[in-house]
Structure 1
Amino acid sequence: MQMPKYLSGKSSLLLVICVIGLAGLRADAQELPSQRVGGSSSFDTPPGLSGNDNAAGHQRLTSLTVVPEDFASLKLAPGFLLGMQVYDVPELSADLRVDSNGDITVPMVGLLHVAGKTITEVQSEIALRLRTGKIINDPRVNLNIEQYAGQNISVLGEVHNPGHLELLAPRNLGDVLALVGGETQYAGNVIEIRRQVNGSPTQLQVHYNQSKDDDSLKSVMINPGDIITVRRAGIVYVLGGVNRPGGYVMQEGGSLNLEQAIALAYGTSMQAATGSIRVARKKPDGSIEEIPVAYKDITRGKVPPTVLQAEDVVYVPISKVKTALTSSLLTSTAGAALIFH
């Protein structure tokens, strides 16, 4: 196996020029989505489907309140309005608003902190206060939620209906993504979650695989106030002696190997020098390394395909000999066609 080497010579200079010219191809890659690996070609996608929000099927979500799966476990928060009734004591009936500190003021009881508690817990606490305060011997307290006060979460990026959801209680990430229509075909395998923890901003990255039955999203809980961003998949560029050069989205879990990338470009052309294929990869320090590829051994199953990274450039050189032979063959064929016409 040859080790990666730094760019040198004329061919390496051509690779550098290709890398510099990628700014224009990035725009093309957004407009022309690649097919999903193992799926049907998106070159046959109906006109109008592209990388922008509207064309990719994005519909802005206006408003949606997500109710908890179990109301008994719903935690109260500032803004909730509670209706209280005490059996046989109608004068104690009242509407109780949870203030910004998470407190309510209960008649004959006074201030009571309820934020983070369930309705059942608050009912029991009010009854205990009424009994220990010798106000009512056997109080039977009933609380109802008159108004909810959830906190918004934002779901952004590569989902079908990005926008805000009003979350009354924590939900798992898989459920939240389903509520906004799921990921688009451009979604990668990284989801970012930003939240406040003890007053400090914190960012969490979740890695998952869309191509498999990955239940990891169900183990990640989303809290009110979170900001979720589904990142776009990376792009790989296939240039030179292929039938459709351009930029291709790394889909199906965000992974793509060399053989798949060339297949997305409709394969190598007749003039391709398949024995000299290389991958140009940008290193963390900004330099570019050239990675030789044993493409013929890959196609014969002798070595595993090279795994590509986002922003890699696969360059398939053009063989001058093959180009000359192809031109000669085309000329001869055209001449014969004229003779027998």
Structure 2
Amino acid sequence: MKNIVFLSLFLTFLLSAGSALSAERGYRVGDGDVLKVTVYDHPDLTTTARISSSGTILFPLIGQLQVGGMTGEKVAGKISNYLEDGFIVNPQVYVFVEDFRSNKAIINGQVRKPGLYELSGPTALSELISKAGGLGAEAGDTITIKRKISSQGKEEKLLSVSLKSLMGEGNASLDIPIMDGDSVFVARAGIVYVTGQVTKPNAYTMDEKTSVIKAITMAGGFSELAAKGKVKIIRKVGGSERMLENVSMHMAVLPEDVIVVPESFF
């Protein structure tokens, strides 16, 4: 639980430390966005235009220009190339998004308020989690983002984010920009159950590196009556339960394993 609280505070820090800037660099403009385009030393070309439903804007000297799905940097480069072709020598073009359209993304899984959220401008992963009320008590390390990579939405790619890596490195650039239509899923942490002759029998959050001895340590260690050499694991295999006897203390545990520490009678 302490890790979840710390992670929530860390995500808040990322927001204040510039994760939104990272998102803005990756933001792709589209239908409804309002762009302000300026060309250095050519004030007559300053243009404010809303992107049409077909993804175009009207720009002086050029006419209709397809910009939908491009970043602001790419739009500036495209306009610069057109202007350089017979109009202006070495044009310096700057593009700013003055008003963002209402994009949407879905977040489900281990967040406090899963659902569909509007993205008012560039939105980083941590900001979307914040909109959803923060991480749930059983949030795991893995977040999966399903993203459309074609205009028809028929092709998708999956992005995987490790919250531990994000938190450990403290690098705001790892805070992935959320795009229109993204589906975000925060996985549930694996749970291992420790029972029998331990100090604090209970269910504990685990990861892929959790061993039998680590789980027992999380449960406060062996009691005075524990048969340390006869620890068992009850594991679900193919829909049925299997008993593993006298397991090694260094054996890796799996989600939903039940570690049983029997009592020593000698």
Q: Same fold (TM over 0.5)?
A: yes
Return the offset for 1:186.
4.3
**TM-score under structure 1 normalisation?**
0.54
SS of 1:200's equivalent? Answer: coil
Instruction: Answer yes or no: is the 8 Å Cα contact 1:109–1:129 preserved in 2.
Output: no
Return the offset for 1:236.
0.6
Return the offset for 1:311.
0.2
User: Equivalent residue for 1:120?
Assistant: 76
- Provide the C-alpha distance between the structure 2 equivalents of 1:222 and 1:109, rounded to a whole number of angstroms: 31
User: Equivalent residue for 1:40?
Assistant: none
User: Equivalent residue for 2:50?
Assistant: 97
- Provide the C-alpha distance between the structure 2 equivalents of 1:178 and 1:94, rounded to a whole number of angstroms: 31
Return the offset for 1:247.
1.1
User: Equivalent residue for 2:147?
Assistant: 195
- Provide the C-alpha distance between the structure 1 equivalents of 2:172 and 2:42, rounded to a whole number of angstroms: 49
Instruction: Answer yes or no: is the 8 Å Cα contact 2:32–2:52 preserved in 1.
Output: yes
SS of 2:252's equivalent? Answer: coil
| Alpha-carbon distance change, 107 to 287 in structure 1, aligned in 2, over 3 angstroms | same
Instruction: Answer yes or no: is the 8 Å Cα contact 2:195–2:201 preserved in 1.
Output: yes
- Provide the C-alpha distance between the structure 1 equivalents of 2:211 and 2:186, rounded to a whole number of angstroms: 22
Supply the AA of the counterpart residue of 1:240.
Answer: G
- Provide the C-alpha distance between the structure 2 equivalents of 1:68 and 1:287, rounded to a whole number of angstroms: 50
Q: Which moved more, 1:142-151 or 1:230-239?
A: 142-151
> Does 1:273 find its partner at 2:191?
no
Sequence identity percentage = 26
Supply the AA of the counterpart residue of 1:309.
Answer: L
| Alpha-carbon distance change, 155 to 214 in structure 1, aligned in 2, over 3 angstroms | farther
Return the offset for 1:140.
9.0
Indicate which of 81, 98, 123 corresponds to 1:146: 98
SS of 1:210's equivalent? Answer: helix
Instruction: Answer yes or no: is the 8 Å Cα contact 1:243–1:268 preserved in 2.
Output: yes
Return the offset for 1:127.
3.0
Gaps of 5+ in 1: 1-32, 37-50, 299-304, 323-341
Instruction: Answer yes or no: is the 8 Å Cα contact 1:67–1:168 preserved in 2.
Output: no
> Does 1:224 find its partner at 2:169?
no
Instruction: Answer yes or no: is the 8 Å Cα contact 1:278–1:315 preserved in 2.
Output: yes
- Provide the C-alpha distance between the structure 1 equivalents of 2:90 and 2:173, rounded to a whole number of angstroms: 44
SS of 2:77's equivalent? Answer: helix
| Alpha-carbon distance change, 265 to 84 in structure 1, aligned in 2, over 3 angstroms | closer
- Provide the C-alpha distance between the structure 2 equivalents of 1:89 and 1:268, rounded to a whole number of angstroms: 77
Return the offset for 1:312.
0.2
User: Equivalent residue for 2:126?
Assistant: 177
Indicate which of 213, 225, 239 corresponds to 1:259: 213
| Alpha-carbon distance change, 68 to 127 in structure 1, aligned in 2, over 3 angstroms | same
Gaps of 5+ in 2: none
Instruction: Answer yes or no: is the 8 Å Cα contact 2:143–2:186 preserved in 1.
Output: yes
| Alpha-carbon distance change, 129 to 97 in structure 1, aligned in 2, over 3 angstroms | farther
Indicate which of 304, 310, 327 corresponds to 2:255: 310
| Alpha-carbon distance change, 217 to 290 in structure 1, aligned in 2, over 3 angstroms | farther
Return the offset for 1:286.
0.8
Instruction: Answer yes or no: is the 8 Å Cα contact 2:20–2:123 preserved in 1.
Output: no
Instruction: Answer yes or no: is the 8 Å Cα contact 1:68–1:74 preserved in 2.
Output: no
> Does 1:292 find its partner at 2:245?
yes
- Provide the C-alpha distance between the structure 1 equivalents of 2:241 and 2:81, rounded to a whole number of angstroms: 67
Return the offset for 1:108.
6.2
- Provide the C-alpha distance between the structure 1 equivalents of 2:52 and 2:112, rounded to a whole number of angstroms: 36
| Alpha-carbon distance change, 238 to 141 in structure 1, aligned in 2, over 3 angstroms | closer
- Provide the C-alpha distance between the structure 2 equivalents of 1:69 and 1:144, rounded to a whole number of angstroms: 15
- Provide the C-alpha distance between the structure 2 equivalents of 1:119 and 1:72, rounded to a whole number of angstroms: 12
- Provide the C-alpha distance between the structure 2 equivalents of 1:192 and 1:124, rounded to a whole number of angstroms: 37
Question: Per residue, is there more strand in 1 or in 2?
Answer: 2
**TM-score under structure 2 normalisation?**
0.66
Instruction: Answer yes or no: is the 8 Å Cα contact 1:188–1:254 preserved in 2.
Output: no
- Provide the C-alpha distance between the structure 1 equivalents of 2:59 and 2:156, rounded to a whole number of angstroms: 37
- Provide the C-alpha distance between the structure 1 equivalents of 2:82 and 2:108, rounded to a whole number of angstroms: 42
Return the offset for 1:309.
0.7
**What are the Cα deviations for residues 159-218 of structure 1, in whole angstroms up to 9, with x where unaligned?**
6998857385696xxxx3388578677442322111223213646363748389569996
